[in-house]
Every structure is written in structure tokens, then in C-alpha cells.
Structure 1
Amino acid sequence: MNKQLNIYVFDGSFEGLLCAVFEWFERKPGQVILKTTDTYQPDAFSPSLVIHSEERKSARVWAGLQKRLAAAWIRILYCSYLSEQEEVYTSLFEFCCYLFSNPPGAEKNYGNTHVLNLSQAARKVEREKHRMKAFIRFQHTADGIFYCGIDPDFNVLPLIITHFKNRYADQQWIIYDIKRHYGLYYDLEKVENIEIDFKVQKQAIITSSAVLSTKEELYAVLWKDYFKSTNIPSRKNTRLHTQHVPKRYWKYLTEKQL
């Protein structure tokens, strides 16, 4: 087998990553590093192959993974992909090749670097998902839609759709990821992806008062008063508090805008 390092360049999609696995088994080129088209820099010493996403190829690899893996591990694969880290993309690729090249149960071998990497990456993404579910605070806009802008470390919007659709089924809402320039819009029937052109990015997290409903300011004042009244200064433990509510999430919380 050729030991030369090869670079596979894909479009960053999950389907493209699965197609890279398909191409590896077709060609068996040796060691491969994955790069997305956005970050790839030509290397004179390492041959590269551009991976084209094809539904037939990705569907075949996906079907094979579903046959070999339990639902919990399918979830790990998807969550680790949502981390959007290139080193995790390579671990996903290597894990799939490792899985198909070994007897059933290979995913339980945590001595394998890529098995461990995926587990750790998925755990971080799941933690970020739980924090978004806990810390998102909607603002009521003048057109009756509840809005919240976020900038999570990982692409967790696909993981929180069901939670917010079920919890806020009786109101229209938008959760917008300003870092990735897309969001979720619920119209009382379905959730769909949307894109908004924000001229000033900072306004995406805290909505301008010009577009808020007249009641929103009252809601904010009442909530802040409630927060103050339930807070016991003598029992304040800032260190413990920041462990449970890291400061980078404070910008979402109405009670922190004092």
C-alpha cells in the first residue's frame, strides 16, 4: 500500500465526508487527511483529490454505518460532525475506514485514537446543545415573533429543533446563529432554515429596541426585578455560579443586562 500522504478535499458536508470514505475504499491510496474547500492550500508534496458529493455513494456508506452501529453511535457520528473541526473530520473519516475494515464491535475499542476523538467531540457538542436549551432567552418583536440571536461554539441548531418546536408550539419564533449566518424559523406549523442580512452583526444577538414590541421592555424589567428579589446576596458564590453559567453565555440572559 502507498504510504504517501494524500489530501482529500471535500465541500464540508456530511454527504461529502461519506463520499470520501467511498472513494478511499475504491482507490486504497494509503494515509489520507481531509480538508474542506474553504481551508485547503495546495501542497506540492502531497497529491490531492477533490471529492464530489454524490447521493449514490454517500447513501451506500451511510447504509453500511447504520447496519454496523447502534443508534447511540450514529448520534456520536452526527454530533462530532457538527463540531466543525477539521481534525474531527479526519477522525470521522478514519473511524469509518477503521470500522469497515474490522469485525463488528470495533467502535468499542477506545484504545483507537479516532474512536476516542469522536466520543470526546460529540460530548462537547452535546454539552453546548444543553447550554443553548437552558440559556436562550427570546425577545418579543413588534411583528409578534419571538427572536433570539446566538453564536455557539458548535453548530447545534439541528440538535435543538425538536426541543423548541415542542416547548414553544403556540408562538412564532426565530433562533439565529450569527456565526454561521443561518437560523431556524417556526411558523406554528413547521421549522425551516432561514438567512437574515444583518448590517451590524452585534445587533443580531440583542435586538434593537426599534423592532421590539412595546411590552418587551416591561417583560425585561419584571424579569430583572424577579431575579433581584430571589437573589440572596449573603449566599452569593460567583465562582460556583460561573461554573454553571459561564460568562460567555451571559449576553443571552436578560437578568445579566442590569
Structure 2
Amino acid sequence: MGHGSTRRLAHCLACRKVILNRFHKGHVQFFSCGCVEAHHIFNFGDAANQNVVAGVEVDSSHVVFIFKRLHDVNLGSGELSDKDFFPVQQTLRIFSYDNSFDGLLCAFAAADGEGLERCGFQVGVGGRPRLWPPTPVPVHAQTAAQFLERLRQAGGEGTVQHVMYVFLAEVKDTEQPLYEFARLTLRAGRNVLGMRTNAAVRRVVDWKAKVGKEAHRVTGLLRFMELQDGTLYARFEPDHNVLPFVTPHFQRRFPRENWVIHDLRRGLAVAWDGQTLHPVVGVPDNVDALLSQREIAFQDLWREYVQSLAVPERRNPALQRRFMPRRYWKHLVERPD
């Protein structure tokens, strides 16, 4: 049976689309279902023996399947089902953790302890069913602290800072590059941050820069409002979890004031009482109703001042968005119309 018949029968195991595209890589002929962003790539390399090898990359696990001999498949149905496949090999080990920083470090320690250069990570044990279930990694504070100290000894405080920033970036699929970065640090030491030709290092450095940029931007855009009890309250909705990086700035900026900074997107809040910083649980939803009369008067005065300075003929919304992205306007007293 030739390639033409195989192409008409084969469907992508991941998305169920019929194989559409054909391309070459070296001397091997590949077929694709068109889901390039999902990497559902099929390699039909053994048509002479009526076997078809298919590579399917789902999430971060790369599983290789092989069709049964085509004469054993029910050709009358016009397509192949899961029962027409059987696994040949799995090239990546998957570790699951509890989405905490300590949990991630424990997963890294487990993978590094097995000497794995590449592996997959996922939060929890749920998600898409897999032929090989992920390995749950229990959280031990001592294991996490020991692995973090190994990174600090090998790469310095800057390396540890990169790991923390990328974790708090809350970007999808950061675990694998971060693990490669950590593993490289343990072997290359302080030189790792200069290895920008390495894809994992480059991505970690870029993510850290994005988080740092937003944290710096927030320190200038955060607006505090005085409540009736004299507490200063500020709210924001950042893309990344920058609250831990923002609070030290305001501890130095307002050391004698009582203030609360509230991340609405994540439901996190911290309070400073002039001496200690502590988390806040149960911030009221109707904070605007708790504003002091002096705060309301100053907000009206500030809006009037900004409006009086504005020149309608020179209004440039595109330039406004360039200097201050629209996502930050919501919580500004002087927000543009």
C-alpha cells in the first residue's frame, strides 16, 4: 500500500484532523495535520512494511506511536481510532507539583537527582489523560531550601533572583526552560547569565526582564487612597505577580504610614503598619465607600487640575497608550476618558 492510501486513512491522534501537509526534513518524509502550533507531526517512514510511525507532542511530553499493520485495521471505517495505535516509547519524564515555589524546587531537585537533562513538569496530576501518568513530587521545605542554596552557591544571588522572578511571572510552560537554566547553573556556575546563545538562558533572562519592568512601572503608577481610618489603600491588576517586588519600595517610601496594597487579579493583599509587613485576608469589596472626605475632595481637585492642563487639540490617545498601557488606566484617579 503506497503513501497515498496511508495519507487518506491517517488522522492526528491529538486533534483528529486528517493528515494534510507533507514536507521533508533531511532524508525523512513527514506529514502534518496542520496544527503546527501544537506540534502534531507524523512521520510515515516504514510504508514498505505497511507500518506507519507517528510522532505526537502533547504539552511537554513527546510520545511516539506506531500504527498496527494496515491490513489489520478496519479500512471500511475510513479513519483510524485509538485502538489502532500502540505505544513504542516515551522520551520525556513528567513530574507534577503543587504550583508552589517550594513544590517547583522539589520537582527540580527530583529531576536533577535522577540526572535528567530534559523532562516535563505540570501542576497537579489532572489534565489531559496520558499513557504514562506523571510522577507526583511531595513538597519538603528542607529539600526546596537545599536546592535553592545549591543554586545560590553555584550562581550567586542573581541566579536565585532570576528563578524567583520567572516563577512569579506566571507564564505558561516556564518550568522546562527554568529547569534547564537551573541545571546549567549547577554545572557552569556564575557564567550562566552570560550564555545568551542558550535558548533556555535567553528565555529566562527575557522573562525576568519583563517582570522587573512591570514591577518598576507599578511603583510609579500605583495610586494610594486615604480611608476613613487614615490607612492608605492602593489596588492594581498586574500581568505578573509583582506584589513581592513592589512592597519593599513602598516600605522605604512610606515607612511611617499604614498602608495596604491589593492585587485584585490574584486576590492577594499585604499591609504595612509601620513596623511589620503581613498578609491581609478579606479585603472589603466596597473600598470606595470607605474613602475619607478629604480623599474625595483631593481626587476631585486632582481631576480638575489635570483637565485644566490638557490641550484638546493636542490629544493623542496612541501616544498615551505607548507611555502608559491601557490596562493600567482603570485604577488611576486621572484616567483618560
- Which TM-score applies when normalising by structure 2? 0.68
2:92 matches 1:5: yes
Of 21, 24, 34, 2:121 maps to: 34
The structural deviation recorded for 1:43 is 3.3
Q: Using CA pairs below 8 Å that are at least 6 residues apart, which structure has the higher relative contact order?
A: 1
Aligned to 1:85: 171
Change in CA separation of 1:257 and 1:171 when aligned onto 2, cut-off 3 Å: farther
Correspondence list, 1:1-258, <5 A: 4-28=91-115, 31-37=118-124, 40-41=126-127, 43-102=129-188, 105-196=191-282, 198=284, 207-208=287-288, 210-256=289-335
The residue type paired with residue 8 of structure 1 is F
Partners of 1:34 and 1:90 within 8 A in 2 = yes
Partner AA of 2:119 in structure 1: V
Using the size of structure 1 for normalisation, the TM-score is 0.87
What is the distance in 1 between the residues matched to 2:216 and 2:189?
34
The whole-number CA distance in structure 2 between the counterparts of 1:46 and 1:106 is: 33
Q: Secondary structure at the match of 1:196?
A: coil
Q: Distance in 2 between matches of 1:170 and 1:53?
A: 38
8 Å Cα contact 2:224/2:233 also seen in 1: yes
Structure 2 CA distance for partners of 1:67 and 1:255, relative to 1, 3 Å: same
Q: Give the CA deviation at 1:197.
A: 5.3
Please name the residue that 2:64 is paired with: none
Deviations 1:142-170 (A, max 9, x none): 22211122111110000011111111223
Q: CA deviation at 1:102?
A: 4.5
Q: Which is further off, 49-58 or 116-125?
A: 49-58
2-side partners of 1:226 and 1:156: how far apart? Answer: 31
The aligned amino acid for 1:239 is: A
RMSD: 2.3
Deviations 1:42-85 (A, max 9, x none): 53323411111212221221111112224333322221111012
- Structure 1 counterpart of 2:335, one-letter code: K
Unaligned ranges ≥5, structure 1? none
Paired AA for residue 220 in structure 1 = Q
8 Å CA contact retained: 1:7, 1:48: yes
Counterpart of 2:35 in structure 1 is: none
Question: 1:180 aligns to what SS in structure 2?
Answer: coil
Is the contact made by 1:3 and 1:31 (CA closer than 8 Å) also made in structure 2?
no
Q: CA shift at 1:238, angstroms?
A: 2.6
CA deviations 1:169-221 (Å, max 9, x no partner) are: 232111111221111101121111112255x6xx5xxx32x211111210101
Give distance in 2, aligned partners of 1:112 and 1:65: 18
| Higher fraction of helix | 1
How many residue pairs were aligned? 249
8 Å contact kept, 2:156–2:190: no
Larger Rg: 2
Q: Which moved more, 1:104-113 or 1:140-149?
A: 104-113
Secondary structure of the residue aligned to 2:174 is helix
What SS does structure 2 have at the residue aligned with 1:114? helix
Q: Following the alignment from structure 2 to structure 1, what is the Cα–Cα distance between the partners of residues 117 and 178?
A: 16
